[in-house]
Amino acid sequence: MRSWIPLLLVFAFLVPATLPASQPALPNADDPVLEARLNTLAADLRCVVCQNETLAESRASLALDLREEIREMMRAGLSDTAVVESLVDRYGDFVLYRPPLKPLTYALWGGPAAFLFIGFALAAAALYRRRAIPGTEDISPDTLAQASRLLQHPDSIPSGSVTEPTSPSPPQDTR
């Protein structure tokens, strides 16, 4: 039967979807080593126009330009740190997804730890305050002694004095 022909057609239409869209091929195939270096480096750099993308994944034209610029610097023999430095010189620490530790970024790096510490401190304080079980302060020692006796010897509960736990009594109408 020829039932597979329509299916094949459908797949044929899907082929273009697997091809890289829109951008013309960049001059990158000539040096796969350099391209790999570029990609690892660009994954940690922010695309400055589309601020929540990395330079590696962005399709913005400025990102393409910047990648080309980085390629050129690498071809000129600059080390990764030198490349990053030259970008920081122009765009500031903002291009780095891992900003360096310095006075301006103390709050950024220390913030999460500080908040975690504050959270633990608050929790500890709350637990410390609750050490004493609320509501037990004004129970007379006699009653407590009786309770512990009953807990140790459940058999000694006089019949009729303590009833089986039942469903709570219906709420009283307080209106």
Partner 1 sequence: MRRWIPLLLVIALGAFLYLGLFLNPKEVPSPLVGKPAPEFTLPVVGRPGETFSPAELHGQVWLLNIWAPWCAICLKEHRVFRELIGPEVPVYGLTWKDLDREAAPLLARDGNPYVKAVDDVEGRVAIRYGVTVTPETFVIDRAGVIRMKHVGPITPQVWEQKFRPLLRELRA
> 4 vs 128, which CB is nearer to partner 1?
128
SS3 content of the chain, % helix, strand, coil (to 5): 55, 0, 40
How far apart CA 49 and CA 121 sit, in angstroms, is: 41
How does DSSP classify residue 78? Answer: -
How far apart CA 98 and CA 45 sit, in angstroms, is: 8
Q: Are 13 and 56 in contact (CB under 8 A)?
A: no
> 50 vs 150, which CB is nearer to partner 1?
50
Residue of 35, 69, 78, 150 that binds partner 1 (CB under 8 A): 69
Is 84 a residue that touches partner 1 (CB under 8 A)?
no
Is 89 a residue that touches partner 1 (CB under 8 A)?
yes
What minimum distance in Å lies between the beta carbon of 88 and partner 1?
7
Residue of 56, 78, 88, 150 that binds partner 1 (CB under 8 A): 88
Segment contacting partner 1 by CB under 8 A, of 24-32, 48-56, 154-162, 164-172: 48-56
How far apart CA 120 and CA 118 sit, in angstroms, is: 5
Is 66 a residue that touches partner 1 (CB under 8 A)?
yes
Residue of 59, 90, 102, 149 that binds partner 1 (CB under 8 A): 90
Distances (CA, A) of 55 to 39, 42, 128, 157: 9, 5, 49, 76
Positions that interact with partner 1 (CB under 8 A): 48-49, 51, 61-62, 65-66, 69, 88-94
